[in-house]
Chain A
Amino acid sequence: MSDPKIEGYTFKPGFKGMAQDTGSDQTMFKGVHWGKAMMWIFLLSDTFIFSCFLISYMKGRGSTLIDWPNPSEVFGLHVFGVEVPLLLIAIMTFVLITSSGTMALAVKYGYEKNRKMCGWLILATAVGGLIFVGMQAFEWSKLIHEGVRPWENPFGAPQFGSFFFMITGFHGTHVSIGVIFLFIYAYKTFKGHYDEGKRGWFTTMKGDYVEVEILGLYWHFVDLVWVFIFAFFYLW
């Protein structure tokens, strides 16, 4: 990473540089796009939301008197006559992490102004997200079919159903919102809105490839949160 060129400003390395940037005028994060800074702070706030959810889950699971269901049985899949624990989740996680990779490549091609590659990779990311949401819907319907409800659960503590549906639902909503935006951004990329600086539909601000990176930040965050949910729900 190289520092941006700013007239009349010399960057310093390390902690001294951080202090100098903080003490300087105009901007604290030199050369960082407003939207990008905003997304970072939004994600910090969103981290607190998911932390509250997960801490509540830990409290709920830790204090229940009825046994918590065994995740490798509940989330197991019966394939070709064999019980495979966590098969679906493994695939879901793989798909989502892969979509993070395509997103990172889309950002790279975006900054290289490679419109086609960028567009296709955003589309690939969107499809990955869509597959993830689809598989989650399958998992939900399987659990509901087996009798798990937000208010009850045949395998043990009723809080299992409550927390599972609430937290994966909240995360799934994040993924779905991301997928919608990915499709919109793919459309805008193919249409060349970011090359021409065409104004946005609602915000009336000029388009720029930095928007792809901002959406990318959101997408990586959603993936990272999934890793935590995966660890806390499926591996604990």
Chain B
Amino acid sequence: MSEDFNDNKTIQAQSSETISGGGSGLSPDIDYVRPAEIPEQDLYHGHSFITKWVFCQDAKVIGVQYFLLATFTGIIGLILSWLMRLQLGFPGLAGFMTAEHYYQFVTMHGMIMVVYFLTALFLGGFGNYLIPLMVGARDMVFPYLNMVSFWSFFVAVGVLLASFFVPGGPTGAGWTLYPPQTILEGTPGHGMGILLMCISLVLFVAGFTMGGLNYLITVLQARTRGMTLMRMPLTVWGIFTATVLAMLAFPALLVGALMMTLDNVLGTSFFMPTILKAGEVLEYSGGSPILFQHLFWFFGHPEVYIVALPAFGIISDLISVHSRKNIFGYRMMVWAIVGIGALSFFVWAHHMYVSGMNPWFGFFFATTTLIIAVPTAMKVYNWILTLWRGNIRMNVVMLWCLGFIVTFVNGGITGIFLGNVSVDVPLSDTYFVIAHFHMVMGIAPLMVIMGAVYHWFPLVSGKFLDEKLGKWHFWLTFLGAYSIYFPMHYLGFIGVPRRYFEMYDSPYMTSAVGMNEFISLAAFLVGAAQFILIYNIIRTLKIGKPAGHNPWKANSLEWLTPTVPPEHGNWGERLPVVHRWPYDFSVPGVKEDFVTQTTAPSEIAGSKVEKT
């Protein structure tokens, strides 16, 4: 087996190595970086197709696997949303659509998009690909565990999709899976559907825990020489903090799912109160449905930030690179990420204002919720101040960044409305809420994903995605998404209730029908526009323009690998040595407008910034 591993002799020991100044007259001491503390990582190099591409232990391949599977699941979620919009805009047009189907599609759309698409894509996809590269590690610290993590996710997705084919179909209880209705007769998928959903969630949490441990320990314990926490790109900070949240929030979901399974299969009454069904008392008694809501939202609210924080981090890097300016207030950005993460554990009950609670309790959660607006607003200001007087490249990546800022501010402001109990109670059951959370945690993170795809695709494949197609993709998505969700705010204000299969003969029908049709048409268009990206990717892989090394002239380590795309082990013979943060753009006194993280201070002697 030993031939599978790096022969230690071929990798030169790096202890006590210093980079000497290039005759600049400065003391070589300013280039000093402490010698390596940790020995070279022992890596398993796959030889066969199976060990290289299927059960692969390379974090980059695992990242791409996560990305592809999450995208596949996301497309299913997209198709479900089309079907829902078809029903809402043009009731009765799709003959097969019953109320049961509608609720099943709502449930699966929600769960897929939040957990199996966005979470898996940001943490599993970008996390795996970028963390080792950005902190200068050869791989994740536990490559085997990482591989198992992906395959647990794979099985979780399989179980989830299997629920479409069991008797009764998938669960139709809404993505929040509130008991008692989840497991009572009359709710679609009350037997097998919810069982498979719970099993799938448990598998997802188990798989995610394995991956999450990897991300955390890689960031904490496997950075390269000179890479301090405060020199990490904000992308890593975002993913790192989101992973901490996930490690502490997913346990609540796991416990909720297990207890729900027992209620469903064994007939326990954790969440089930005494229930009368058609005048007959069911066997359940004494359970508390509110308990599930607490467990679910103790997971559910941090989950929002599990999606949002990586997005914040990635967007900060993209904006900085493409406006050729250092990120404004780096430390403030880091502390804002950490602060939002910590606060996110104290706001969960704002999802439960309508469940009924002590007014003081609601007051507390409204206060904490509104406090989150402070660090979030700081981040928005900092993005704008980074753009301010920057040398902005108006390319597709920048378009997605600007689109993100606009949609995020828009969704965030409606969040301030809904964070107040007295405003939330009348709006809670309307389309206003749909508009709010789709703007803030649907469209905004999606914009980041798209920007990140256009930004990092040259690294993953070595080729540029087509700009022209990218611009079509952006404008159709951006304007289309606004056409979908902006009118929904209005629908909410006039009181159109959400979760309804159709509006029947209510007076809302007359005033909302045209708008519903318009929203549906826009939704079809936006969904279809996403296939431009898939076409673009396939086309680029065939005939794309080669990108070469560091095409965006970025500073962070992932662009500085000896080969593009990076090979297993990332760095060739020597690990990079880091001397500065990744945001030294347009430094006065330096010829180029960027100073990479590996540039030694003596190489840029006389500049305004020598060491950061």
Asked if A45 is at the interface (CB within 8 A of a chain B CB), the reply is yes
Q: Which residues of chain A are near B126, meaning CB under 8 Å?
A: none
> Count of chain A residues with Cβ under 8 Å from any Cβ of B?
52
Q: How far is the CB of B291 from chain A (nearest CB, A)?
A: 5
CB closest chain-B residue, reference A4: B37
Stretch at the interface among A69-77, A111-119, A156-164, A216-224: A156-164
Q: Of B212, B228, B269, B287, which contacts A23 at CB under 8 A? A: B228
Using a CB-CB cutoff of 8 Å, which residues 67-125 of chain A contact chain B?
none
Nearest CB of B to A3, in Å: 12
Say yes or no: is B426 at the interface (Cβ < 8 Å to chain A).
Answer: no
A16 at the interface (CB under 8 A from B): no
B227: chain A residues at CB < 8 Å are: 25-26
Is residue A34 within 8 Å, beta carbon to beta carbon, of the partner chain? yes
Q: A25-B34, A150-B262 known; A38 and B217 CB under 8 Å?
A: yes
Say yes or no: B266 contacts A158, CB within 8 Å.
no
Return the chain A residue nearest B244 by Cβ. A41
Per the bound structure, the CA–CA distance linking A6 and B37 in Å amounts to 7
B35 contacts the other chain (CB 8 A): yes
Q: Specify which chain B residues have a CB less than 8 angstroms from the CB of A34 in the assembled complex.
A: 141-142, 217, 221-222
| Min CB–CB distance B263 → chain A (angstroms) | 9
**List of B residues within 8 angstroms of A141 by Cβ:** none
In the assembled complex, A59 has its CB within 8 A of some CB on chain B: yes
Q: Mark B389-415, 1 if CB is under 8 A from A, else 0.
A: 000000000000000000000000000
Q: Is the CB of B286 within 8 A of A49?
A: no
CB distance from B601 to the nearest CB of A (A): 15
Q: Are A41 and B225 in contact (CB under 8 A)?
A: no
Q: Specify which chain B residues have a CB less than 8 angstroms from the CB of A138 in the assembled complex.
A: none
* Contacting pair B578 A25 (CB below 8 A): yes
Interface assignment of B386: CB less than 8 Å from any CB of chain A: no
Residue numbers in B under 8 Å from A44 (CB-CB): 247-248
Q: Is B224 an interface residue (CB 8 A)?
A: yes
A157 (CB) vs chain B CBs: closest residue: B286
B255 touches A59 (CB 8 A): no
**Is the CB–CB distance between B4 and A151 below 8 Å?**
no
A46 and B213 CA atoms in complex are apart in Å by 12
Identify which of residues 130-145 in chain B touch chain A, using a CB-to-CB cut-off of 8 Å: 141-142, 144-145
Of A22, A26, A46, chain B has the most CB atoms within 10 Å of the CB of: A26
CB of A8 within 8 Å of the partner chain: yes
Residues of chain B with a CB closer than 8 A to A162's CB: 262, 268-270
Q: Which residues of B contact A60 (CB under 8 A)?
A: 270, 286-288, 291
**Given that A41-B247, A66-B286, A166-B259 are known contacts, is A7 also in contact with B15, CB under 8 Å in the complex?**
yes
Bound-state Cα–Cα, A29 to B222, Å: 10
- Answer yes or no: A234 CB below 8 A from chain B CBs: no
Give min CB distance, A167 to chain B, whole Å.
10
B221 touches A32 (CB 8 A): yes
> In residues 218-276 of chain B, which contact A (Cβ within 8 Å)?
220-231, 247-248, 250-252, 254-256, 258-259, 262, 266-270
- Structural contact, A205 and B266, CB atoms closer than 8 A: no
B287 / chain A contacts, CB cutoff of 8 Å: 60, 159
Q: Complex formed: what's the CA distance from A52 to B248 in Å?
A: 11
* B42 in contact (CB, < 8 A): yes
CA distance A139 to B220 in the complex (A): 43
Q: Which residue of A has the minimal Cβ distance to B143?
A: A203
B29 CB to nearest A CB, Å? 13
The residues of A that contact B515 with a CB separation of less than 8 Å are none
Residue of A26, A31, A151 near B224 (CB, 8 A) is A26
> What are the residues of chain B within 8 A of A65 when measuring CB–CB?
286
Q: B36 at interface (Cβ–Cβ under 8 A)?
A: yes
- B221 with A27: CB separation less than 8 A: yes
Question: In the complex, how many angstroms separate the beta carbon of B47 from the nearest chain A beta carbon?
Answer: 13
CB nearest to A49 among chain B residues: B251
Contact of A151 among B38, B283, B291 (CB under 8 A): B283
Q: Is the CB of A45 within 8 A of B248?
A: yes
B209 interface hit (Cβ, 8 Å)? yes
**Which residue of the partner chain A has the closest CB to B298?**
A52
Contact between B255 and A204, CB atoms less than 8 A apart = no
Is the CB of B563 closer than 8 A to any CB of chain A?
no
B contact residues around A46 at 8 Å (CB): 251
Q: Is the CB of A30 within 8 A of B209?
A: no
Q: Does chain A have a CB within 8 A of B105?
A: no
7 smallest beta-carbon distances between A and B, as pairs: A48-B251, A162-B268, A52-B255, A49-B251, A151-B267, A203-B144, A8-B34
B residues contacting A by CB (< 8 A) are: 1, 4, 15-16, 33-38, 42, 44, 141-142, 144-145, 209, 212-213, 216-217, 220-231, 247-248, 250-252, 254-256, 258-259, 262, 266-270, 283, 285-288, 291, 295, 298, 578
With A158-B268, A166-B262 already in contact, 12 other A-B pairs whose C-beta atoms are closer than 8 Å:
A8-B35, A25-B33, A34-B222, A38-B213, A41-B217, A44-B248, A150-B267, A158-B269, A159-B268, A202-B144, A203-B142, A204-B44
Give me 12 A-to-B residue pairs in the complex whose CB atoms sit less than 8 angstroms apart, sorted by A's number: A26-B37, A26-B227, A34-B221, A44-B247, A56-B270, A56-B291, A60-B288, A65-B286, A151-B266, A159-B269, A202-B144, A205-B144
